[in-house]
Amino acid sequence: MTSFGVIFRMRRIIGQKKLGHAGTLDPDAEGVLPVCLGKATKLVELLQGGGKTYEAEMLLGVITDTQDTSGQILEEHPVDVTEEEVREALFSFEGTVEQIPPMYSAVKVDGKKLVDLARRGIEVERRAREVTFSDMEILKMDLPHVTFRVSCSKGAYIRTLCEDVGRKLGCGAAMSHLVRTRVGSFSIENAVTIAEFEEKFLTAKENGLPMSDFIIPLPEFFPDCPVITVPDQFKNAAINGNSLPLTGTKPPEDGRKVRVFLSDGTFIGIYKRTGTKYALDLYLNEL
């Protein structure tokens, strides 16, 4: 299932069109895919900028056109490297490195997706970009198969990392399996499958139960931001996203972000203290 396929099915389950996902997963990959509902779609860009963690398996000795084993094999080579050489090659990419995005990707060049060009047999020059890999750990090594865990920044491709490792070893490599275990603060331990979500959603809807145990309420996404309740005389200013005066006897320190609510409990969004006022940082209301 593609990431768009997940959104399509979710729309049918909840009967709502305004949905978005943060961080596309390749069709052959599985794992965590944050889905934002309604006004929470404003968080998509914020979520996409967060770090991600993957568990991947690479197969040494092959090079494919897609950099994974679902593609067409272009080259095959004997694998006569040692486990220590594999370890050194993989860990040499830990830190900030330059990576050329793969042709089979959603990256756009001159307004055209690389994957669309690749499917037409067109290959174009791509600029290398800086990405970061961290917390590398080899989980299992049974050559020519290597399973590892890695965290990375936005825009990093694990498929490309595998191919780069294979190139460094001189035998080639392709990604054979990928599971995303974390996106920002969302981990696979707290995730639900689409089938589980559908069951929970329908049960809650039919019985009038709260959905907060499997759908995170928007204000709870910012647990580190103190709560500010706007006095009624400034209600319209808050609704319009205007600056607000400092309230309370102990306002937060300058630069601190806060969650702003109306007196009736309506969540307006995230403001930031700037000098003697609160300035709008992220508007999340639809009044």
What are 69's two structure tokens?
Answer: 């084993």
Domain residues of the chain, as ranges?
Answer: 1-48+188-216, 50-184, 221-283
What are 260's two structure tokens?
Answer: 């702003």
Asked if 7 and 41 count as a contact pair (C-beta separation under 8 A), the reply is no
State how far the alpha carbon of 176 is from the alpha carbons of 54, 135, 187, 188, 275, in Å.
13, 21, 22, 20, 53
The contacts of residue 85 (CB under 8 Å, 6+ apart) are 169
Residue 287, pLDDT score: 52
What are 94's two structure tokens?
Answer: 């830990």
Report, as residue numbers or ranges, the catalytic residues: 26
Q: What is the mean pLDDT of each run of 10 residues along the chain (287 residues)?
A: 91 92 86 92 83 96 94 95 98 96 72 73 80 97 98 93 97 97 92 94 93 88 89 92 83 91 92 92 79
Neighbour count for residue 205 (Cβ, 10 Å)? 13
Residue 50, pLDDT score: 77
Residue 43, pLDDT score: 87
How far apart CA 44 and CA 252 sit, in angstroms, is 27
Asked if 66 and 102 count as a contact pair (C-beta separation under 8 A), the reply is yes
Helix axes 194-207, 3-14, angle to 10 degrees: 10
Q: Please state the pTM of the whole predicted model.
A: 0.85
Nearest to 254 by CA among 274, 238, 234: 274
CATH superfamily for 1-48+188-216 is Pseudouridine synthase (3.30.2350.10)
207 in helix, strand or coil? helix
Residue 179, pLDDT score: 97
Domain at 50-184: CATH code = 3.30.2350.10
Asked if 25 and 33 count as a contact pair (C-beta separation under 8 A), the reply is yes
* 1-48+188-216 against 50-184: fold identical: yes
Residue 11, pLDDT score: 94
Give the CATH architecture of domain 221-283.
Answer: Roll (3.10)
Residue 238, pLDDT score: 92
Helix axes 83-91, 158-169, angle to 10 degrees: 130
* 45 burial via Cβ count (<10 Å: 0-12, 13-18, 19+): exposed
State which H helix or E strand residue 138 sits in.
Answer: strand 129-142
What are 279's two structure tokens?
Answer: 């300035």
* Residues forming beta bridges with residue 97, ordered by sequence position: 131
State how far the alpha carbon of 193 is from the alpha carbons of 84, 198, 287, in Å.
38, 9, 32
Residue 104's identity, in one-letter code, is Y
